[in-house]
Chain A
């Protein structure tokens, strides 16, 4: 295939591979029911052509910037088409694994329910816990940085809190804070606190002696040094912590709902739909959670690029 690419030139080979990809995908989907045994071969062929397509695209010097999205889209398409083909070909019962087409139909038909669940779990539960947890961690980190004896006393306690399993803390917090989103926010605070604390403390320590001396020559007070030098220098660590904590916040909010919730929420929806054997609804909730997580992570990445443009990790 490499010789083909070289012979035809990158532009033509990209177009040819793309066309082959589409044709094989359609053939696989169309023939899945009748030609069950061949389904795996179709999928393997599709994966191979997808690989060649991305490979050719990588060699195309004048590729538009959207070409960077080709690899993830090709991989995603192979996974989805392979899933659909195999489930159809092997006649897998939908209570074990529903087909992507079924999940899409269920997702589109339940938008209002899923939106209400999203608001309850992500916006009310996860986000409020995330903000409170990060604010607490920030306050604690500044204190720990200022007073050394606090650092030695509190960091081990934070470590202990982080090790508490969520399946143990969630029922207790539900008992303390009630069934509604407040207990889920509390679970998120517990989960998010320690990673943020550790990252901010590490970030605040990440200034060189020369930089701190420079501030001393300007006769800057502790708080001035903190705000003008150490916090901006800590931002890469802060964003690292924020990104890790975003994932934990989503996990915490959803899992905490398994232990008691009103009849709305992503975790509740997964649990109730599982009990009703509505696996397509379970997968729709998974899609919502994945989209929410990706959006949050993407937002944090953009914010990071804007605020820490000076850091080596942001070089293109």
Chain B
């Protein structure tokens, strides 16, 4: 009898306690734990989420995890995604909405061997180019469409290779150019012993075909729930606080990311360099999506000609409600 009473009191106590428990948020990253997502890990480590009464779980991604699918299946409350991929998912019938845009600039590049003689985009004809898929192919396809170069191979087009998430195709000379990020793969090529003057690099930003990258997206139907919206407002506020701290303290942010890396695969030097480059991409954004940037991304995607990434200008694909409330 005493044990039963004690158990009942404990149960009541726990349920009363859970009424005051923090709101749970699950964030699905679009790749493995690395400094590309430093802001969220910093917010976790420095207690910014705790201050907002949030219990955040950061779910690392990987080679075969499509964040839109995780969101669709209810495995996460919010996801990180590149805008072309999110807009394409929206057209496919998954209504995702951008609620914040921490990344202002694009870090996507094409890195080529200088000895292939490539000096400009029109020299890509007849060459072999490694392109990532799984949502990362859209900026490239758009660019080639705008240049009028077919991606079906032959002398007048480019031969596209589905590049794995590594730089081997360039090093093994299986491709003349590969896709790289300023903050990750470019460094890997240099680490492999290639000198910078052996390479020629095209930044999508400089070519005028850049699209918005890491943004925070949620399912549209969840935004009609006021409790969910409030949770997201607090989440975005704390996350942006984490990002700004990471920009100002790159070394410490890299160490925080390393501490949270469960695989132990990341190295300090790599993460410090990555954080330095990521800070350049988040600089200039306070988290609110700039409508001009959105329009530019959509225009780039619609200019895809015969093979556009999206077929119509998206409606209701982003909202400023969350950032308006979070940043004021």
Q: List the interface of chain A (C-beta within 8 A of B).
A: 93-96, 171, 175, 178-179, 259-263, 268, 271-272, 274-278
Contacts and interface: CB of A to CB of B under 8 A. Distances in A.
A175 B172 contact: yes
Nearest to A257: B162
Contacts of A278: 92
B69 A271 contact: no
B181 to A, nearest CB: 17
A21 B133 CA distance: 45
Contacts of B94: 93, 95, 277
A19 to B, nearest CB: 37
A175 B167 CA distance: 11
Contacts of A259: 164
Given A178-B174, A179-B161, 16 more contacts: A93-B93, A94-B93, A259-B164, A261-B161, A262-B161, A262-B162, A271-B133, A271-B162, A272-B133, A272-B134, A275-B66, A275-B85, A275-B134, A275-B135, A275-B137, A276-B92
A96 B73 contact: yes
B151 interface: yes
A205 B249 CA distance: 72
B160 interface: yes
A277 B169 contact: no
20 contacts: A93-B72, A93-B93, A93-B94, A94-B92, A95-B68, A95-B89, A95-B93, A260-B162, A260-B163, A262-B153, A262-B159, A263-B151, A274-B64, A274-B134, A275-B85, A276-B88, A276-B135, A277-B66, A277-B69, A278-B92
Contacts of B172: 175
Interface of B: 64, 66, 68-69, 72-73, 85, 88-89, 92-94, 133-135, 137, 151, 153, 159-164, 168-169, 172, 174
Contacts of B137: 272, 275
A171 B164 contact: yes
A45 B89 CA distance: 37
B314 to A, nearest CB: 15
Q: Does more than half of chain B's interface fall in helix, strand or loop, or is it mixed?
A: loop
Given A276-B135, A277-B66, A96 B162 contact: no
B162 A272 contact: yes
B88 A260 contact: no
A179 B174 contact: yes
Nearest to B172: A175
Contact of A271 (B92, B134, B151, B160): B134
Contacts of B161: 179, 260-263
A260 B172 CA distance: 13
Contacts of A96: 69, 72-73
A262 B89 CA distance: 24
A263 B162 contact: yes
Given A93-B72, A95-B72, A175-B172, A262 B163 contact: no
A274 B66 CA distance: 8
Residue with the highest number of chain B CB atoms closer than 10 Å, among A96, A274, A276: A276
Contacts of B169: 179, 260
Nearest to B171: A175
Q: Which 8 A-B pairs have the closest CB atoms?
A: A275-B134, A277-B92, A263-B160, A272-B133, A95-B72, A275-B135, A95-B94, A261-B162
